[in-house]
Amino acid sequence: MTIGLIMLATSINAIAIVSDFNNVIPRPNNITILSDSDHFSLNNNTVVCYDIDNESNSIHLRKYIKDATGIDLKTTHKKHCKNFVRLAINEKIYNPEGYRISVSKNCCLIEGKTKAGVFYGIQTLRKSFVPEKSASIDIPIVLVEDEPRFGYRGALLDVSRHFFKTEDIYRFIDMLALHNLNIFHWHLSDDQGWRIEIKSRPELTAKASVRPETVIGHNTPKYDGKPHGGFYTQQEVRDIVEYASDRNIVIVPEIDLPGHAQASLTAYPNIGCTGGPYELWKIWGVSEEVLCAGNDSTYRFIEDVLGEVADMFPGELIHIGGDECPKTRWKNCAKCQAKIKELGLTDQPGRTAEQQLQRYIMEFAQDFLTKRGKRVIGWDEMLEGGIGGNAVIMSWQGEKGGIEAAKMGLDVIMTPTSHMYFDYYQTSDIENEPNANDGYLPIEKVYGYDPVPKELTPEQSKHIIGSQACLWSAYIPTFKDVEYMSLPRLAALSEVQWCMHENKDYKRFTNSLETLLRQYDSMGLNYSRRLFDVDAKFSTDADAKHIMVTLDAVNNAKIYYTLDGSEPDTKKNLYTKPFEITNSSTLKAIAIHDGFGTGPVYNEKIDIHKGVFRNITLHTSPSSNWCAAGCQTLNDALHGNANRESGRWMGFREEDLVATIELGDDNEVSEVEVSTCMVKNKWSFHASKIVVELSGDGVTFTTVATEEYPHITWDQNDGVRKHSLKFEPSIARYVRVTVQPDRKPEGHNVHGGGYVFVDEIVIR
């Protein structure tokens, strides 16, 4: 009878899932297949036996396998001799988070130097197969030996700009665990809301955890009229800390000082320079309202808050912020100025008295926490006023601060906006994405990041203790959006943090990603599929007068395309090799990814106007970071979209753009169209003036069109504007175009003037 039942059960789920460690992300350092002809079968009769340190790991393993496959493993503390998985500590393993998986026909042994190592062995096992209801998993006879490259593998979640419920925080921790991250940087306070109960400071949660409404979009003049907020009680925090710890994740709480502090001021106005009244900020950006550094109450406030925070979070590291603290208030505050005097601070080359005052307040917090056995982390602005002790620097404004700190012998965590800000768009096609922070960070760029800068010596490199992704939530309103912005970029990050740089391989990564994406599916995670999009590259051949188009998609997916604007489908025009375009066309293309369908249709207008295939000379210099691929970008037949960072736009600030396009022979010309791209928050505005001049000899030019535009106002929408300058049809060989940035846009205090981002200069 029993045998009959078992046979019935196996015949229902007859096909075993096959595990393959080559598909695990992050990729284990060493995978040695010991036998091809056999396997270990994990099934309902498999027993997980664990030593005493690994009881919680046995519970994790059992749950992961049950959720993914339905297989119900038994667990026991006792020894077992057949069909078992053993979870054990092995002191001989070198790295505290290292692990080893040894599989034989009879058993699967997962060992770690510590229970953290065993936990990562379990993660690797669960990621080695595609989740599916089944009666068994065939695990190859294999030896996996693995350890992480970095000891600090973090991700930041900002819960101030948008609040996420405790269930969401648990889910976030599960996401980090799945990717072998071990630090959750919890950004708990900012201008838009205070998020953690401080018993000695009840007004923080009573008055500063719910803002009355929130700005819509990128600081438009509109508000949603809806209160938003919430906070975590100390009990909730302690439960979350324990949940994280059980998954080898340390929580680094951040209380941002002395800037990004408008929530603190809203609750306790006496600790601000003006005394208030203050209210929670309803917009995004950097507020000028900061903690008053000349007020004793401010220091008592810091002690009260950090004292309770230190008690709630058992980890060594506490983040005390230090970023983006404008000094406007301090300059005009009698108390701050008196403090500066009392401390004997004076302006020094490269270091103002106010910057040194910031150092004073940060060191006050640092000393307080050091006495409690803690170590502080601060954003790289901490370096501006000078820094002491053993503070850890978090390098976010590029790598410069991190390099400087490592050279000073300080430990560093790399989180440069360029590679680690996951609130940025993950595709250039931003019109078809949820609203995000203006920045562009495709997954391939994340993947390619090496946190150890080349400038550092091997000795200095030891101070780069890890890297971290940041999810700032101004434009991430729901937890589903957190998932979408994180995944699968978190998978790319996990290889940056875990794997040696030389062992990374983007092709291998994308090929093995499917197994992980199926894991996301089984966990109900909302992930982006934009890495499946068609990627098109264009190269102009001026002599042959054509544009070569090369299409690509990850994992050698089949691509179908059209050039007449019609919708592509799988019945016609399979892409097989690069092709030429000689006339204006609309390229549309799709890539087919088995099991994942197709992404949005790739759509590009190739505009072969009179200026294309012609010589262009730029007489002025773009801003250093905004050179695109050189001035050929301005007449390459391709138009930039609202993504300023797509590589199609050249940015000018210090100088006007002045460019001459040489038409080669006499041409009739009657219109020049210049596109500009506005992203107000990034100080990029439309042009204030455009001039078109024509010439027959390239020496004497005649102005044929001049347009001046009113200053940009804050209520205007971001995006692309086409400036069309029409004039009497004229014969010309040279067209010179001047584009002047709006250096004084209204209502915006733009230091150094606004940029103008220019793309295609179309000549008709």
Instruction: Please give the residue ranges that form the binding site for ligand ACM (CB under 6 A).
Output: 323-324, 379, 396
**Please, what is the minimum distance in Å from the beta carbon of residue 256 to ligand ACM?**
9
| Interface with Zn ion (CB under 5 A), residue from 108, 292, 405, 677 | 292
- Residues binding Zn ion: number (CB under 5 A): 6
Provide the strand spans (E) within 477-584: 535-541, 546-552, 558-562, 579-581
3-state percent breakdown (helix, strand, coil) of the chain, nearest 5: 30, 30, 40
Which position among 147, 190, 380, 645 bears the catalytic label? 190
Find the part of the chain contacting Zn ion (CB under 5 A) among 36-44, 332-340, 383-391, 596-604: 332-340
Residue type, 430: I
**Please, what is the minimum distance in Å from the beta carbon of residue 362 to Zn ion?**
15
Complex with Zn ion: residue 317 or 336, whichever CB lies closer = 336
Compose the 239-278 pattern: x for residues touching Zn ion by CB under 5 A, - for all others: ----------------------------------x-----
- Token code pair at residue 99: 């692990």
Q: Which does 294 bind (CB under 5 to 8 A by kind): ligand ACM, Zn ion, none?
A: Zn ion
- Token code pair at residue 431: 């019109």
Q: Which does 273 bind (CB under 5 to 8 A by kind): Zn ion, ligand ACM, none?
A: Zn ion
Residues 265, 266, 269, 273: what is their CA dihedral angle, to the nearest 10 degrees? Answer: 40
Specify whether 77 is catalytic. Answer: no
CA distance 726 to 705: 7
**Please, what is the minimum distance in Å from the beta carbon of residue 361 to ligand ACM?**
17
Q: Which does 324 bind (CB under 5 to 8 A by kind): Zn ion, ligand ACM, none?
A: ligand ACM
**Please, what is the minimum distance in Å from the beta carbon of residue 324 to ligand ACM?**
5
136-146 and 602-606 as β-strands: parallel, antiparallel, unpaired? unpaired
Residue with tokens 């978190």: 490
Complex with ligand ACM: residue 43 or 160, whichever CB lies closer = 160
Complex with Zn ion: residue 292 or 493, whichever CB lies closer = 292
Complex with Zn ion: residue 136 or 298, whichever CB lies closer = 298
Which position among 51, 168, 246, 324 bears the catalytic label? 324
Largest CA distance in the chain: 102
Complex with ligand ACM: residue 330 or 422, whichever CB lies closer = 422
Complex with Zn ion: residue 365 or 659, whichever CB lies closer = 365
Q: What is the DSSP secondary-structure string of 351-381?
A: B-HHHHHHHHHHHHHHHHHHHTT-EEEEEGG
**Cα four-point dihedral sign 332, 336, 338, 341:** negative
Q: Which does 318 bind (CB under 5 to 8 A by kind): ligand ACM, Zn ion, none?
A: none
CA distance 531 to 121: 28
In 97-216, alpha helices (H): 115-126, 166-178, 203-208
Mapped onto helix, strand or coil, the DSSP state of residue 466 is: strand
Find the part of the chain contacting Zn ion (CB under 5 A) among 20-28, 329-337, 646-654, 686-694: 329-337
Complex with ligand ACM: residue 420 or 531, whichever CB lies closer = 420
CB atoms within 10 A of CB 67: 12
- CA neighbours closer than 13 Å in the CB half-sphere of residue 24: 28
CA distance 255 to 313: 12
**Please, what is the minimum distance in Å from the beta carbon of residue 656 to ligand ACM?**
31
CA distance 527 to 530: 9
DSSP β-bridge partners for residue 659: 618, 737
Complex with Zn ion: residue 328 or 570, whichever CB lies closer = 328
| Interface with Zn ion (CB under 5 A), residue from 336, 482, 491, 638 | 336
Cβ 402 vs Cβ 415: under 8 Å: no
CA distance 346 to 37: 76
**Cα four-point dihedral sign 84, 87, 92, 97:** positive
Find the part of the chain contacting Zn ion (CB under 5 A) among 34-42, 160-168, 334-342, 361-369: 334-342
| Interface with Zn ion (CB under 5 A), residue from 154, 294, 416, 466 | 294
**Please, what is the minimum distance in Å from the beta carbon of residue 260 to ligand ACM?**
7
DSSP β-bridge partners for residue 184: 155, 251
Q: Which does 292 bind (CB under 5 to 8 A by kind): ligand ACM, Zn ion, none?
A: Zn ion
CA distance 84 to 122: 14
250-257 and 228-229 as β-strands: parallel, antiparallel, unpaired? unpaired
**Please, what is the minimum distance in Å from the beta carbon of residue 336 to Zn ion?**
3
- What's the CA angle centered on 172, arms 227 and 528, to 5 degrees? 90
Compose the 395-434 pattern: x for residues touching Zn ion by CB under 5 A, - for all others: ----------------------------------------
Complex with ligand ACM: residue 113 or 218, whichever CB lies closer = 218
Contacts of 705 (CB under 8 A, 6+ apart): 672, 690, 691, 692, 725, 726, 727
**Please, what is the minimum distance in Å from the beta carbon of residue 288 to Zn ion?**
12
Q: Which does 396 bind (CB under 5 to 8 A by kind): Zn ion, ligand ACM, none?
A: ligand ACM
Q: Which does 422 bind (CB under 5 to 8 A by kind): ligand ACM, Zn ion, none?
A: none
Specify whether 256 is catalytic. Answer: no
CA distance 733 to 661: 8
Binding of residue 291 to Zn ion (CB under 5 A): no
Complex with ligand ACM: residue 395 or 497, whichever CB lies closer = 395
**Please, what is the minimum distance in Å from the beta carbon of residue 748 to ligand ACM?**
19
Which position among 60, 179, 187, 260 bears the catalytic label? 260
Q: Which does 68 bind (CB under 5 to 8 A by kind): ligand ACM, Zn ion, none?
A: none
585-593 and 597-598 as β-strands: parallel, antiparallel, unpaired? antiparallel
Complex with ligand ACM: residue 379 or 447, whichever CB lies closer = 379
Q: Which 8-state DSSP code applies to residue 249? A: -
CA distance 487 to 519: 12
CA distances 384 to 360, 362, 388, 389, 399, Å, are: 12, 12, 12, 15, 15
Tell which residue, 339, 323, 473, 338, has the closest CA to residue 401: 323
Residue type, 493: L
Looking only at residues 740 through 759 of this chain, which bind Zn ion when binding is defined by CB under 5 A? none
CA distance 527 to 575: 27
| Interface with Zn ion (CB under 5 A), residue from 207, 282, 300, 335 | 335
Find the part of the chain contacting Zn ion (CB under 5 A) among 95-103, 328-336, 585-593, 693-701: 328-336
Specify whether 715 is catalytic. Answer: no
317-321 and 250-257 as β-strands: parallel, antiparallel, unpaired? parallel
**Which residue of this chain has its Cβ atom nearest to ligand ACM in the complex?**
323
**Please, what is the minimum distance in Å from the beta carbon of residue 196 to ligand ACM?**
19
Tell which residue, 20, 30, 19, 176, has the closest CA to residue 497: 176
Q: Which does 155 bind (CB under 5 to 8 A by kind): Zn ion, ligand ACM, none?
A: none
Residues 312, 315, 317, 320: what is their CA dihedral angle, to the nearest 10 degrees? Answer: -10
Complex with Zn ion: residue 276 or 439, whichever CB lies closer = 276
**Please, what is the minimum distance in Å from the beta carbon of residue 161 to ligand ACM?**
11
Complex with ligand ACM: residue 194 or 498, whichever CB lies closer = 194
Cβ 590 vs Cβ 568: under 8 Å: yes
Active site residues: 190, 260, 324
Positions in the binding site for Zn ion (CB under 5 A) = 273, 292, 294, 333, 335-336
